[in-house]
Structure 1
Amino acid sequence: MAAVAELKKRTRRDYKYMLDYRTRWIDNDMYDHMNNSVYYYLFDSVVNTYLIQHCGLHPPTSPEIGLVVHSHCDYFGPLGFPAVADLCLRVNKLGKSSVTYEIGVFEQGSEEARAVGEFVHVFVGRENRRPGVNGMGTALREGLAKLTVDAQAKL
């Protein structure tokens, strides 16, 4: 992952997909900002929305599933109810069976990233929980390649 100072400079233009999220009263904690655990919920939501809508993933029946093997978040500013968040997504690394996502969280109307997270999936067979011999399926790879910031990504 990039250095924290570099992450803090991220803008929406650094990402290739965006999903908005209307915060809820329950997202706030006793300090009147969104609880840290909610950020991870948002990371999971934007990643899986993209996988379902653009990569052909159908979580209840797809032959392969993504297991989260790593997640991380750097927080730069508070966000809380009743804000609307822009969840911005890109792929920093596309491997044979793994993908490293970066998620920028912005408050609508503000250009400063409130948080930047990293989320790593390893795609495995639903039944055996092992990566496939040929890695992830073609539809997943092609969909994820559209988000990659690495010009060297191979299909």
Structure 2
Amino acid sequence: MAAGALKARRRGDYKFELEYRTRWSDNDMYHHLNNSTYYFLFDSVVNTYLIKHCALHPPTSPQIGLVVHSHCDYFAPVEFPAVVDLALRVNKLGKSSVTYEIGVFERGQDHVKAVGEFIHVFVHRESRRPDASGMAKELKTGLERLLMHQANL
């Protein structure tokens, strides 16, 4: 997706939010959130949603999600101290894969600071291969709640 379209994202373009309070150690030497922190935040919002709304229990679930792709477009810095809202949506839902989009918003602001993409492929815990039947029903049902229609991508 074009950076201009992503930069135009607003909170209402997402269906789930998770709050994060930045820590002093999140900053880098340039006094803004380090790039690696954004990926930590993406992982946190996705897994929070999966655990709370998709019946995923990472230590014991028969299926696990493997990250096969991720990237981030940065539009404006965030620095300590700040409260950010991590906004989540699903842009594509396949038989065993899901493409998430995460918007990072500073509390009280509607302009997105960064937009990330994160793709999971759900595989059998032991074989590390997708199940022939695809994702578990509870998982797919939970992810469908975040699915955006093609016109809203």
* TM, length-normalised to structure 1: 0.96
* Corresponding residue number in structure 1 for 2:148: 149
Cα offset for 1:109?
Answer: 1.1
Identity of counterpart residues, as a percentage? 69
Instruction: Spell out the pairing of 1:46-61 with structure 2 (5 A cutoff).
Output: 46-61=45-60
* Corresponding residue number in structure 2 for 1:88: 87
In the alignment, the residues of structure 1 paired with residue 30 and residue 133 of structure 2 have an alpha-carbon distance, to the nearest angstrom, of 48
Secondary structure in 1 aligned to 2:48? Answer: helix
Secondary structure in 1 aligned to 2:84? Answer: strand
Amino acid at match of 2:14: Y
Instruction: Spell out the pairing of 1:9-28 with structure 2 (5 A cutoff).
Output: 9-28=8-27
Secondary structure in 1 aligned to 2:67? Answer: strand
Instruction: Spell out the pairing of 1:1-155 with structure 2 (5 A cutoff).
Output: 2-150=1-149
**Structure 1 runs (4+) greater than 2 angstroms displaced:** none
Cα offset for 1:44?
Answer: 0.2
Equivalenced residue count is 151
Unaligned runs of 5+ in 2: none
In the alignment, the residues of structure 2 paired with residue 88 and residue 133 of structure 1 have an alpha-carbon distance, to the nearest angstrom, of 31
Amino acid at match of 1:33: H
Cα offset for 1:150?
Answer: 2.4
In the alignment, the residues of structure 2 paired with residue 72 and residue 29 of structure 1 have an alpha-carbon distance, to the nearest angstrom, of 19
Amino acid at match of 2:19: D
Amino acid at match of 2:7: K
Unaligned runs of 5+ in 1: none
